[in-house]
A and B are shown apart, each in its own frame.
Chain A
Amino acid sequence: MSAILPPSERLWWKQPIAGQEWAWIGIAFVWAMIMFVMMVYWHIYGKQNLSNEVYKTTTEMFTAKTEAFVKENTIRTETDQNIPVAKPNAKGEAFLLARLWSWYPILELEAGKTYKIHMSSVDYNHGFSLQPTNINIQVIPGYEHVVKMTPTKAGTYAIVCNEYCGIGHHSMLGRIYVK
Chain B
Amino acid sequence: MATTYRTCPRTGLQFDLAADKLMRWNAVAGVLWLLVGGITALLVILTRWPAIKLLPADQFYLILTAHGIDMLILWIIFFEMAVLYFASSTLLRCRLATPALGWVQFWLMAVGGIMTNVAIFQGESSVMFTSYVPMQAAPHFYLGIILFAVGALIGCGVFFGTLVVAKREKTYVGSIPLVTFGALTAAIIAVFTIASGAAILIPTFLWSVGIIKEIDAQLYRMVWWGLGHSSQQINVAAHVSIWYLVAAVAFGAKPLSEKVSRFAFLLYILFLQLASAHHLLSDPGMSAEWKVLNTSYFMYFAVLASMIHGFTVPGAIEAAQRKKGFNNGLFEWLRKAPWGNPVFSGMFISLVGFGFIGGISGVVLGTEQINMLMHNTFYVPGHFHATVVVGTTLAFMAITFLLVPTLFKREMMFPKLCQIQPYLYGLSMIVLSLVMMGAGTLGVSRRHWDMAFSGAPFQYEWPGAAYLMMGLTGIFGVIAVVGGGLWIFLVVWSLLFGKKLDGGATSEKTVPIPDQSVAASASATGSEEHTSVPGTVVLAITLLVCFVLYYFVNWKYLSEVWGLS
Binding site for B on A (CB under 8 A): 1-10, 12-13, 15, 17-18, 20-21, 23-25, 27-29, 31-33, 35-36, 38-40, 42-43, 46-52, 54, 79, 81, 83, 102, 114, 119, 123-125, 127, 129-145, 147-152, 158, 160-175
Known contacts A1-B254, A25-B260, A124-B134, A162 near B564 by CB under 8 Å: no
Query: Which residues on B sit within 8 Å (CB–CB) of A18?
Result: 256-257, 530
Partner of B311, one of A8, A21, A123, A158: A21
**Is the Cβ of B373 less than 8 Å from the Cβ of A134?**
yes
Q: Report B508-564 residues with CB < 8 Å from chain A CB.
A: 519-524, 526, 530, 532-533, 536-537, 540, 544, 547-548, 551, 555, 558-559, 561-564
Known contacts A21-B311, A47-B559, A4 near B177 by CB under 8 Å: yes
Partner of A135, one of B134, B259, B562: B562
Interface contact tally, CB-CB below 8 A: 317
**Is the Cβ of A133 less than 8 Å from the Cβ of B177?**
no
**Is the Cβ of B563 less than 8 Å from the Cβ of A32?**
no
**Is the Cβ of A24 less than 8 Å from the Cβ of B258?**
no
Interface residues on B, range: 35 or more
C-alpha gap A47/B57 in the complex (Å): 39
Query: Is residue B199 within 8 Å, beta carbon to beta carbon, of the partner chain?
Result: no
**Is the Cβ of A131 less than 8 Å from the Cβ of B443?**
yes
Query: Which residues on B sit within 8 Å (CB–CB) of A132?
Result: 443, 463
C-alpha gap A135/B315 in the complex (Å): 41
Query: Which residues on B sit within 8 Å (CB–CB) of A47?
Result: 559, 563-565
C-alpha gap A162/B135 in the complex (Å): 15
Query: Which residues on B sit within 8 Å (CB–CB) of A136?
Result: 282, 371-377
Binding site for A on B (CB under 8 A): 57-58, 61, 91, 128, 132, 134-135, 172-179, 216-218, 221, 244-245, 247-249, 252-261, 280-285, 287-288, 292, 295-296, 299-301, 303-304, 307-308, 311-312, 315-316, 363, 367-369, 371-377, 441-443, 445-450, 453-460, 462-463, 519-524, 526, 530, 532-533, 536-537, 540, 544, 547-548, 551, 555, 558-559, 561-565
**Which of chain B's residues has its CB closest to A79's CB?**
B457
Kindly list the 9 A-B residue pairs having the minimum CB-CB distance in the complex, ordered from nearest.
A150-B563, A32-B300, A158-B460, A162-B445, A145-B284, A171-B455, A173-B456, A170-B450, A12-B258
Give min CB distance, A14 to chain B, whole Å.
Answer: 8
Query: Which residues on B sit within 8 Å (CB–CB) of A38?
Result: 367, 555
**Is the Cβ of B450 less than 8 Å from the Cβ of A4?**
no
**Which of chain A's residues has its CB closest to B176's CB?**
A6
Give the dominant DSSP class at B's interface: loop
Query: Which residues on B sit within 8 Å (CB–CB) of A163?
Result: 132, 376, 447
**Which of chain B's residues has its CB closest to A12's CB?**
B258
C-alpha gap A119/B254 in the complex (Å): 55
Query: Which residues on A sit within 8 Å (CB–CB) of B532?
Result: 20
**Is the Cβ of A48 less than 8 Å from the Cβ of B449?**
no
